[in-house]
Structure 1
Amino acid sequence: MIQLNALTKRYGDVVAVDDLTVTVRPGLVTGFLGPNGAGKTATMRMILGLDLPTSGSATIDGRPHHELPSPLRVIGSMLDAQAVHPQRTAYKHLLYLAQSNSIPAGRVAEVLDLAGLADVAGRKAGGFSLGMSQRLGIAAALLGDPPVVVLDEPVNGLDPEGVRWIRTLIRGLAAEGRTVLVSSHLMSEMAVTADRLVVIGKGRLIAEAEIGEFTETGSTVLVRTPEAAAFSRRLELSGAHVQAGDDDELLVTGMTAPDVGRLAAAEGVPLFELTQRRVSLEDAFMELTRDSVEYGAAR
């Protein structure tokens, strides 16, 4: 489990992370989202002990990173897949990491095979493509078989087969009961990978919920009824917002399709159609973060 308690980081006058309190629970893939400059990287660096908080705390299973005697056995991470000495082979890179955390050398071959790099274990990392570097970074993150995994943009540079591989891997890690935190800008990938989302903007928490709650919020219910005008008034009295569509159509927000259906049944209103149209995760994300975008294009 990762726990952030009033976590704050200032760089001079700039507040990168502002009073952030979040719990990342085991057994779930938690997507960590936010616009550029939102504070995601600063947060992950503090979780990993690379930067010290100005105030507040970041702990892994109740302990800050610097108190972990063999950190790779507790938390594996990938923030920059290309942060590898270019003259080291993939095998030597992982071997040195293993030796620094008292991990058996045999584990190196296991993670190389897991990442699909067994055939290039003797090649220097400086000659790796971006996709191969990503695989090496993921292999390093899993080297200590850790219960907590933190990955920043893990599908960056991967081909479609690689994207499917990392998606399956991430979900498998969570299914084993591990704590998995994944940062990404790819909403389509988060929509099919994450169970829960944490969204931040300008260093502050904007939203934290199960992924279905994000796409349900802001969804529209399409209603077709020959009694559109009368039913529209009844829906508004029940707290919904109603917009008239074509002919006998109503577009309803603020109520779910089951609630609309129950109201129609209670009022004896015939329905020709009742469809809930959920917004995409991308649309929900854009709406949540529209006031937190640091560099927005002209519209």
Structure 2
Amino acid sequence: MIETRRLTKRYGKTRAVDELTTKVEPGHVTGFLGPNGAGKSTTMRMVLGLDRPTGGEALVNGRRYAELRRPVHEVGALLDAGAAHGGRTARDHLRVLARANGIGDRRVDEVLELVGLAGAATRRVGALSLGMRQRLGVAAALLGDPGVLLFDEPVNGLDPEGIRWVRHLMRDLAAEGRAVLVSSHLMGEMALTADRVIVIGRGRLVLEASVRELRARFQEDVLVRSPERGELGRVLEGAGASVATEDGALLVRGLAAADIADLAASRGLPVHELTPRGASLEDAYLRLTEDSVEYRAKETAR
């Protein structure tokens, strides 16, 4: 588990992270979302002991990273795919990390196979594509078989097959009972991958919730089809809903689908379709962070 308790990081007068309190539970993929400059990478670096907090604390399994006896076996991370020495082979890069942490070469070969780099194990890191270096970074994170994992933009540089592989890997790791924290700007991918989200803006917590809860919070309307459209519309408006029409259907806002069904049934009005139309994860994210974007491009006329 990862916990931050009023975690704060200041650079001069700027608060990169501002009293952030969150929790990343085992068994879930948690998406870490926010605009550029929101403080996501800084938070991850403080969790891993790479940056010292100005205030508060970041804990892994109840302890600070520096207090972990065998950190590679408790927490793995991919923050920068370019961190590996370009002159070493992929296998040698992992062997150096493995020997420094009492891990045998057999595990090195296992993770190379797991990430699809067994055939490129003898190639130098500097000759690998960005996507292959990302895979190598994932292999390094998994080397100690840790129960806590942090990934910062892990699909950067990957092709569609690689993105799909990362998605399934993250979900498989969480299904094994691990706590997985993933930052990304790809909302469509996060919608497919994450169970929960932590949204931050300007270093502060905006929202922490399940993806389902987030979508429900921004539910826009319910699509209703009925051969008694006019009468049903009047009943729903009488119950306080706002009703519009679209392609022969009713668009109802202000009442949940279950309430609409109950009202229709109580009046003996048939319903042929009842479809809640919630906002996408991207729509919800943009609404939550619209006041936290530092740099916004000027919109052009269409």
TM-score bucket (shorter structure) = over 0.9
Task: Report the counterpart of residue 145 of structure 2 in structure 1.
Answer: 145
Task: Report the counterpart of residue 253 of structure 1 in structure 2.
Answer: 253
1:136 and 1:229, CA in 2 relative to 1: closer, same or farther beyond 3 A? closer
Q: What SS does the aligned partner of 1:91 have?
A: helix
For residues 138-168 of structure 1, what are the alpha-carbon distances to aligned partners after superposition, in whole Å with 9 as ceiling and x for unaligned?
0000000000010011111111221121111
Q: What SS does the aligned partner of 1:245 have?
A: strand
Q: Give the fraction of aligned pairs with identical amino acids, expressed as a percent.
A: 58
Gaps of 5+ in 2: none
The letter for the 1-side match of 2:234 is A
The letter for the 1-side match of 2:28 is L
For residues 225-262 of structure 1, what are the alpha-carbon distances to aligned partners after superposition, in whole Å with 9 as ceiling and x for unaligned?
222553243231xxx5x142359754333432112212
1:76 and 1:268, CA in 2 relative to 1: closer, same or farther beyond 3 A? same
Task: Report the counterpart of residue 174 of structure 2 in structure 1.
Answer: 174
Q: What SS does the aligned partner of 2:83 have?
A: coil
Task: Report the counterpart of residue 44 of structure 1 in structure 2.
Answer: 44
Are 1:222 and 2:226 matched, yes or no? no
Cα pair 2:9 2:54 within 8 Å, conserved: yes
Q: What SS does the aligned partner of 2:239 have?
A: helix
Task: Report the counterpart of residue 235 of structure 1 in structure 2.
Answer: 239
Cα pair 2:7 2:20 within 8 Å, conserved: yes
Count of residues in Structure 1 that have an aligned counterpart in Structure 2: 295
The letter for the 2-side match of 1:158 is L
Are 1:104 and 2:126 matched, yes or no? no
Gaps of 5+ in 1: none
Q: How far 1:93 moved relative to its partner?
A: 0.9
For residues 73-93 of structure 1, what are the alpha-carbon distances to aligned partners after superposition, in whole Å with 9 as ceiling and x for unaligned?
100000001111111111111
Q: What SS does the aligned partner of 2:81 have?
A: coil
The letter for the 2-side match of 1:73 is H
Deviation larger for 97-106 or 191-200 = 97-106
User: 1:68 & 1:117 partners in 2: Cα distance?
Assistant: 30
The letter for the 2-side match of 1:217 is R
Deviation larger for 94-103 or 49-58 = 94-103
The letter for the 1-side match of 2:55 is S
User: 2:283 & 2:189 partners in 1: Cα distance?
Assistant: 14
The letter for the 2-side match of 1:222 is L
TM-score between both structures, scaled by the size of structure 2 = 0.92
User: 2:132 & 2:248 partners in 1: Cα distance?
Assistant: 56
Cα pair 1:7 1:55 within 8 Å, conserved: yes
User: 1:226 & 1:247 partners in 2: Cα distance?
Assistant: 14
User: 1:273 & 1:115 partners in 2: Cα distance?
Assistant: 45
1:257 and 1:152, CA in 2 relative to 1: closer, same or farther beyond 3 A? same
The letter for the 2-side match of 1:132 is M
The letter for the 2-side match of 1:37 is G
Are 1:123 and 2:118 matched, yes or no? no
User: 1:139 & 1:229 partners in 2: Cα distance?
Assistant: 57
Task: Report the counterpart of residue 25 of structure 2 in structure 1.
Answer: 25
Runs of 4+ in 1 over 3 A off after TM superposition: 246-250, 266-273
Q: How far 1:117 moved relative to its partner?
A: 1.0
User: 1:247 & 1:93 partners in 2: Cα distance?
Assistant: 60
**Pairwise CA RMSD:** 1.7
Cα pair 2:237 2:243 within 8 Å, conserved: no
User: 1:246 & 1:78 partners in 2: Cα distance?
Assistant: 47
User: 2:29 & 2:297 partners in 1: Cα distance?
Assistant: 31
